[in-house]
């Protein structure tokens, strides 16, 4: 009985969704010509990115410069998720002294391979979030790649421990410097998170003012948070 | 690949429209079915993940412009601003993917805690255990 | 002509992997189905000229979501309809 009702509900929702989206033809040009009297948001972003911010990647300019407050909210959501997860899976220190991780024996192939792969993966992640304003990439992508490298090390070697105290310091300093950049914009006479320094030429590494600095800070914070989440999850003892 | 996609696009316009939107709406409905009917909590979270994937595909599919290119000003292409796809839905989807992952992580940690307390992960057996 | 056949094939595999991961009873195979959905979705994002979104979906959906699900399955049951016997079933 319940299945029949649910299927009727799904067919109704599907019919109305299809009927709505048939009126939006796929691939139609809704921006128009990029000239002076273009009154769409995307037209404004596409025509003013090079002059005002000197950044080659339009998505980076939107996420960090035009919508910088949303990025601050997203970093806050990730921080709340990491803190909430750590406090739900809390374990007291007096129960066990030596908390061991997932102890499966790792083969020789993994141990030899990870020793070469780990610096390469971390280097790739740092490259992605430093060059976020020139090529596709940015803080979130680079931070995730670095966290994947740390996950490989955590699975393979049993003696590899991450220092939670140091990670907490890096994360706090990164978050404070993001808000500090915003307040510095406020104190120097402009709006919050205003990109006020005009340095460099287009398509070189030092360009775009404060945008690469913000993305480096965000990348470090995301990498450290995701490593902390994975480290806590791997230390739970299954109840068997 | 760009020229092939353009000429296919002009000939089969209706089918491609229905195909792209139909795939993403089908993903949303599959995910919604798993959330409404299944009893295991991990299956419900899998359904939420599939629903997120469908919604993200729908957003990026709306922003596509025929004959458009990726919105990055490479060296030598600084005047290509009138040939780019819409960059606004891509920025929204970038944020949405990360927030979806954060929600999945917190939901799964709650499920682990619930399993340790009640010794089951099905929602129709949690009501009848001794408390 | 080959290109549109490949696109239709990718869409069919996407829907088949999604239906498989919802219906199947062993939870580990369902998680692998979600991983396949993320891989094909990342390729779709690249075809729709969105490289940033493709990178993000590939990094988060393939690596991190799968490992978090596997750790959860390890700490809960692997079978979907696991019945455990309790003392007071007549409550």
Q: What is the ipTM of this complex?
A: 0.89
Range of the domain at B11: 2-71+82-118
The answer for A 61-80 residues in CB contact with B (under 8 A) is 62-63, 67, 70-71, 74, 77-78, 80
- Rounded average pLDDT over C20-38: 95
Nearest CA distance, A134 vs chain B (angstrom) = 8
Burial class (CB in 10 A: 0-12, 13-18, 19+), A5: exposed
- Tell me whether residue B77 is in a domain: no
Closest CA to A172 of A216, A230, A217: A217
Question: Cβ of A202 under 8 Å from any chain B Cβ?
Answer: yes
Nearest CA distance, A89 vs chain C (angstrom) = 12
pLDDT: which is higher, A13 or A51: A13
- Tell me whether residue C83 is in a domain: no
- Tell me whether residue A32 is in a domain: no
Q: What is the pLDDT of residues A171-182, one digit of tens each?
A: 999 999 999 988
Question: Cβ of C56 under 8 Å from any chain A Cβ?
Answer: yes
Instruction: Decide: A45 and A61 in contact? Cβ < 8 Å.
Output: yes
List the CATH number of the domain containing B42.
1.10.287.3510
Q: What is the pLDDT of residues B71-120, one digit of tens each?
A: 988 888 888 788 889 999 999 999 999 999 999 999 999 999 989 888 88
Q: What is the pLDDT of residues A86-105, one digit of tens each?
A: 999 877 665 555 566 777 78
Q: Which range among B11-25, B117-131, C67-81 has the greatest average pLDDT?
A: C67-81
Range of the domain at C10: 2-75
With bands split at pLDDT 50, 70 and 90, how would you rate the model's confidence at B130? low
Q: Which residue does chain A place closest to C76, by CA atoms?
A: A238
- Tell me whether residue A31 is in a domain: no
Q: What is chain A's mean pLDDT, rounded?
A: 86
- Tell me whether residue B126 is in a domain: no
- Tell me whether residue C71 is in a domain: yes
Q: What is the pLDDT of residue A98?
A: 57
Q: What is the pLDDT of residue C91?
A: 44
Q: Do A238 and C75 touch (CB under 8 A)?
A: yes
Q: What is the pLDDT of residue A196?
A: 64
Number of structural domains in chain B = 1
Question: Cβ of B25 under 8 Å from any chain C Cβ?
Answer: no
Q: What is the pLDDT of residues A102-144, one digit of tens each?
A: 777 888 888 899 999 999 999 999 999 899 888 999 899 999 9
- What are the chain C neighbours of A232 within 8 Å (beta carbons)? none
Nearest CA distance, B18 vs chain C (angstrom) = 12
- Tell me whether residue B131 is in a domain: no
Residue B23 pLDDT greater than 70, yes or no: yes
Give B82's DSSP letter.
G
Question: Cβ of B50 under 8 Å from any chain C Cβ?
Answer: yes
Helical packing angle, A164-187 and A211-233, nearest 10°: 150
- Tell me whether residue A161 is in a domain: yes
Residues whose CB falls within 8 Å of the CB of residue A169, separated by 6 or more in sequence, listed in order: none
- Rounded average pLDDT over C17-21: 95
For residues B35-65, b (16+ Cβ closer than 10 Å) or e, as one string? bbebebbbbbbbbbbbbbbbbbbbbbbbbbb
Number of structural domains in chain A = 1
pLDDT: which is higher, A21 or A95: A21
Range of the domain at A61: 56-91+99-233
- What are the chain B neighbours of A83 within 8 Å (beta carbons)? none
- Tell me whether residue B110 is in a domain: yes
C42-48 long-range Cβ contacts below 8 angstroms, 24+ apart:
C43/C10, C44/B57, C44/C10, C44/C14, C45/B57, C45/B60, C47/B5, C47/C7, C48/B60, C48/B61, C48/B64, C48/B85
- Tell me whether residue C11 is in a domain: yes
Number of structural domains in chain C = 1
**pTM for the full predicted model:** 0.91
Nearest CA distance, A189 vs chain C (angstrom) = 33
pLDDT: which is higher, A38 or B69: B69
Q: What is the pLDDT of residue C85?
A: 62
The beta-strand segments (E) located in chain A are none
């Amino acid at each position: 009985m319940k299945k029949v009702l649910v299927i009727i509900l799904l067919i109704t929702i599907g019919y109305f969704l299809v009927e709505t989206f048939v009126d939006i033809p796929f691939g139609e040009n809704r921006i128009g010509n990029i000239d002076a009297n273009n009154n769409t948001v995307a037209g404004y972003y596409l025509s003013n990115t090079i002059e005002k911010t000197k950044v080659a990647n339009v998505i980076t300019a939107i996420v960090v410069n035009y919508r910088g407050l949303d990025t601050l909210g997203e970093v806050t959501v990730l921080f709340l998720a990491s803190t909430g997860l750590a406090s739900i899976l809390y374990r007291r220190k007096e129960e066990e002294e030596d908390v061991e991780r997932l102890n499966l024996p790792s083969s020789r192939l993994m141990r030899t391979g990870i020793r070469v792969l780990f610096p390469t993966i971390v280097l790739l992640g740092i490259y992605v979030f430093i060059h976020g304003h020139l090529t596709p990439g940015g803080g979130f992508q680079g931070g995730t790649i670095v966290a994947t490298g740390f996950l490989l090390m955590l699975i393979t070697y049993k003696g590899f421990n991450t220092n939670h105290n140091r990670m907490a310091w890096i994360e706090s300093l990164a978050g404070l410097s993001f808000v500090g950049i915003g307040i510095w914009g406020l104190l120097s006479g402009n709006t919050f998170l205003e990109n006020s320094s005009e340095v460099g030429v287009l398509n070189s590494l030092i360009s775009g003012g404060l945008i690469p600095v913000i993305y480096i800070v965000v990348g470090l914070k995301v990498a450290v948070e995701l490593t902390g989440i994975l480290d806590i999850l791997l230390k739970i003892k299954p109840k068997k | 690949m760009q020229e092939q996609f353009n000429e296919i696009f002009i000939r089969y316009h209706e089918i491609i429209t229905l195909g792209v939107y139909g795939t993403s709406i089908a993903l949303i409905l599959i995910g919604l079915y798993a959330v409404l009917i299944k009893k295991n909590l991990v299956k419900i979270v899998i359904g939420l993940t599939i629903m997120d994937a469908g919604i993200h595909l729908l957003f990026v599919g709306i922003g596509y412009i025929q004959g458009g290119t990726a919105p990055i000003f490479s060296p030598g292409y600084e005047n290509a601003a009138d040939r780019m796809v819409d960059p606004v839905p891509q920025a929204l989807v970038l944020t949405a993917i990360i927030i979806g992952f954060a929600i999945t992580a917190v939901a799964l940690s709650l499920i682990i805690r619930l399993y340790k307390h009640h010794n089951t992960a099905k929602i129709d057996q949690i009501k009848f255990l001794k408390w | 002509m080959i290109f549109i056949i490949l696109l239709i094939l990718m869409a069919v595999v996407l829907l088949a992997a999604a239906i498989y991961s919802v219906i199947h009873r062993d939870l580990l195979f369902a998680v692998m189905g979600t991983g396949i959905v993320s891989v094909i979705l990342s390729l779709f994002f690249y075809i729709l000229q969105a490289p940033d979104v493709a990178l993000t979906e590939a990094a988060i959906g393939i690596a991190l979501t799968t490992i978090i699900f596997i750790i959860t399955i390890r700490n809960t049951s692997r079978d979907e309809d696991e019945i455990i016997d309790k003392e007071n079933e007549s409550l």
